[in-house]
Amino acid sequence: MRRLPHERERLAGAKARLDRLDLYDVPASLARVRVLVEPRLFRVPGFRRYHGYSFWRTIVVRDENASSDLLTHEVCHVWQAQRRPIAQLWAWVRHSYRSNPFEREARAAVGATRDYHRHVDDAHKTRLARNEDLFRQVNEKIEDLATRHGDDAHIYEFFCECSDMDCSERVCLTLGDYEHVRDNPARFVVVKGHELPEIEHVIERAEDHVLIEKHGRAGEVAIKLDVDAES
């Protein structure tokens, strides 16, 4: 069992969608809410049909690719538990999954905020790509200094180029390894487990890091930033 990568940021995105709705008198709170990745739960009879499940302040998802729609759905259940805990529990006793009014409310909340999500999603992915580009710029300065003073076989510490601005972890690479990363402006090197499936996919895996390539809007931004830096 492990925490969802970029948990706080992804939860905040789900909450931002729900904040547009007036379902309850007080907005949903993310205080002490956590998201766990536990595929084994979804092998248990009764859970196999689901991709996510909420238990009060804990959300459990099948894998790290949990979508914004899924997280919004589950955060809505957390919100329901915060505002109407007894009614929510009683509804699960009285109603089937499909007819449960709280389940229907969560599905409706996802549908009602989907257009907003698409608009915000582009801005969100742009910001994540810009974050990674900042680490890339730092690493390119390290590469430049190392090229002048080191040899290709020497191992250097480069910053993880993930989108988390608070990350300070390092990856160990030779200059040749890092030049391989830079062959494609949409590619970045990150510590294993720091990849974010919504904006990137893994190209190569090593013992302590992975080479990822941005796709969609994030890929477009990464390429543009690299071109702008060269001009």
Contact of 106 with 83, CB cutoff 8 Å: no
Interval 132-154: pLDDT, tens: 778 888 888 888 877 776 666 78
What's the pTM? Answer: 0.58
Mean of the per-residue pLDDT values for the chain? 86
Confidence of residue 117 (pLDDT cuts 50, 70, 90): low
Name residue, tokens 């706080």: 8
What CA–CA distance (Å, rounded) separates 85 from 102? 11
Q: How confident is the model at residue 119 (pLDDT cuts 50, 70, 90)?
A: low
Strands (E), 75-169: 156-159
Distance, CA of 192 to chain centre: 14
For residue 230, which phi and psi values (nearest 5 degrees)? Answer: -80, -25
Task: Report d(CA 215, CA 206) in Å as an integer.
Answer: 21
Q: Smallest Cα–Cα separation from 76: which of 97, 104, 115?
A: 104
User: 6-10, 60-64, 114-118, 124-128 — which one is most confidently predicted on average?
Assistant: 60-64
The letter for the amino acid at 76 is C
- Residue 230's pLDDT band (boundaries 50, 70, 90)? low
Q: What is the pLDDT of residues 174-217, one digit of tens each?
A: 888 888 888 899 999 999 888 887 788 899 999 889 999 988 87
